Structure 1
Amino acid sequence: MSLRLFKNDFFLTSMNSVVVAERHPQADFPSHDHDFDELVIVWRGNGLHIWNDIPYPITCGDLFYINSRDRHSYESVNELALDNILFCRERIGLMADWSQLLPGDDVSQEQRYWRLSTLGMSVLRDKVDELAKECMKSEPLSVQLSEALLMQLALLLLRFRQRPDSGALPDAHQLDLLLMALRANIAEPFHLETFCQKHELNPRALRSLFKQHTGMNVSHYLRQLRLCRAMSLLRYGSMTISDVAAECGFDDSNYFSVVFSRACGVSPRDYRQRFIGLGGKTSLSLMTAE
């Protein structure tokens, strides 16, 4: 059963329309929904974001537009830090095209998940901090300023966000390039040295940068991407175990079963059967350490 969160427990007054809930760190949190909407910006660390029963491996730069009808949870977190920007659409008095700035229920879940460039995160960090201070005041002017800052934040998100499976980000930052390459090539072998040679990057420096920002090494992150993809295929598809393994970058289905069982606590076959038996409600547990 999903936990229900209410606006009266988070917003300063009934007049306030936006508030920043800092989660530094974000601990494991059970499945829940709420009677308000929110933006989720991930600053560092890693974990699993289970959003309407779909698992997303998350790390720095991930952006989610979460609506009140959504159900989500956090699992297997490792030094995860994020901000939830909560807002009540019906309270916002500032005139703007909010349906375009902040995607609502008429926008698919796929279109409400984005990636932010490193440059964008730097700009957004200051704006979120400014909003966090202003939204803790209840006088009318502060309420209006908070809404104006929310609009600025939403516009900046439109400027700096990119599709998770896009190629290179405009600033071509090496960490962004690597994250995009990993997400876009789950089914194919990935060689960091070849990637660095192509983009004229230093492999040792990039490994260190990746570890610093995500809390894991490149191979572990890629493994989580592949296992999350495998869980989705096992939950919602009818592919054979061998085909699932191949789709997720494993040449050997037996090796895939060993890796999956070690990470999730059950074999791929048993995972699929347990999911079917429980009507879509399963307990996920991915290891966050090698």
Structure 2
Amino acid sequence: MTQLHGEEFFVSPAATVAVEPRMPQHAFPEHYHDFWEIVLVEQGAGVHVFNDQPFALCSGAVFFVRDNDRHLFEQVEELHLTNVLYRSPRGFRFLSDIAPFLPYGANGEWLGQWQLNTGTQQQVKQLILQLAALARHERPEDIATSESLFLQILVLLRQKSFQTQGDGSERLGIQALLGWLQHNFCEEVDWDTLADRFSLSLRTLHRQVKQRTGMTPQRYLNRLRLLEARRRLQHSDDSITTIAHDCGFSDSNHFSTQFRKAFSLAPKALRHQALCED
């Protein structure tokens, strides 16, 4: 597996923060870093596999990646990302400790996927533009200012975004709906009911899901279900029929057809491939 090294991205050994836009981000195999990063999805779609857990990407998604995390990008469609890199939570020159602002849960678990609304995205983008200009310089005052901007970004994310870990909160709007789908895609979904639940008209729901994900709501839902099914085919011993039903497909034949269409491989063939790799 490839390891990416900070010396390739930070302007000098003295630099503590860097900005790396990926516009577009192409498919990239599994890798890890010797630095930490925050990944912000500007636009487009794709799949982010984070420590073997797949996530369907859409505009407004934010991922916090540590130096020991493994991740990859696949099935990308006009995917634009901005990566904000930093050495480590204690690797700054003028900040003492940023750990309180990182996505740790109440029990110390890592809750590294957040969502932003459009307004917060624009606020973060403006701060990142300022940070990108300063991060190219090595003077102590520039490093201090860049670290200050980084802290502003981190605090803004903490204040204005919300985690998609399915905490039961009743936030409203399209970002809340997308977060809910990330954790409830195996349930039977009625779009009229969901529109009411998140205070959206059905027409607005369809339009905004398409804007955010590049897909119709049903296609996005199917992608979430198929990604989970693929993960379970690779990492569990459950039968294909059981996996299909658990992931929201009432008909296993329909599931197999959709799976082949999405991954160019039948579920049975993927299961066989996973067994051979083990």
Query: After TM superposition, is the score higher than 0.5?
Result: yes
Aligned-residue offset at 1:195: 2.5
> Where does residue 48 of structure 2 map in the other structure?
49
Matches within 5 A, 1:1-290: 2-89=1-88, 91-102=91-102, 108-109=109-110, 111-164=111-164, 165-167=166-168, 170=171, 172=172, 174-279=173-278
Separation (CA, whole Å) in 1 of partners of 2:40 and 2:272 = 34
Runs of 5+ consecutive residues of structure 1 not aligned to the other structure: 280-290
1:223: Cα distance to partner? 0.9
Residues 81-116 of structure 1: CA distance to partner in whole angstroms, max 9, x if unpaired? 111111112641123332233369x9545x222223
Check conservation: 2:137, 2:143, Cα contact below 8 A: yes
- Cα distance 1:208–1:99, how it changes in 2: closer, same or farther (>3 A)? same
**Percent identity at matched positions?**
31
Report the more deviating stretch, 14-23 or 89-98: 89-98
Confirm or deny: 8 A CA contact 1:168 1:180 kept in the other structure. no
Residue 15 of structure 1 contacts residue 91 of structure 1 at CA under 8 Å; is this kept in 2? no
8 Å CA contact 1:16–1:91 kept in 2: the answer is no
Task: Name the CA distance, whole Å, in 1 between partners of 2:112 and 2:18.
Answer: 20
Q: What secondary structure is seen at the aligned counterpart in 2 of 1:254?
A: helix
Tell which deviates more after alignment, 137-146 or 179-188: 179-188
Q: Report if the CA contact (8 A) 2:59-2:212 is conserved.
A: yes
Structure 2 portions without partners, runs of 5+ = none
The more displaced of 147-156 and 12-21 is: 147-156
CA gap of 1:98–1:13, structure 2 versus 1, over 3 A, is same
Task: Give, in whole Å, the separation in 1 of the partners of 2:75 and 2:4.
Answer: 22
Report the Cα distance in structure 2 between the residues aligned to 1:133 and 1:167, rounded to whole angstroms: 40
CA separation in 2, counterparts of 1:34 and 1:113?
Answer: 18
Letter aligned with residue 156 of structure 1 = L
TM-score of the superposed pair, with normalisation by structure 2 = 0.89
Q: Secondary structure of 2:32's match?
A: strand
Q: Distance in 1 between matches of 2:52 and 2:184?
A: 23
| Alpha-carbon distance, 1:51 to partner | 1.8
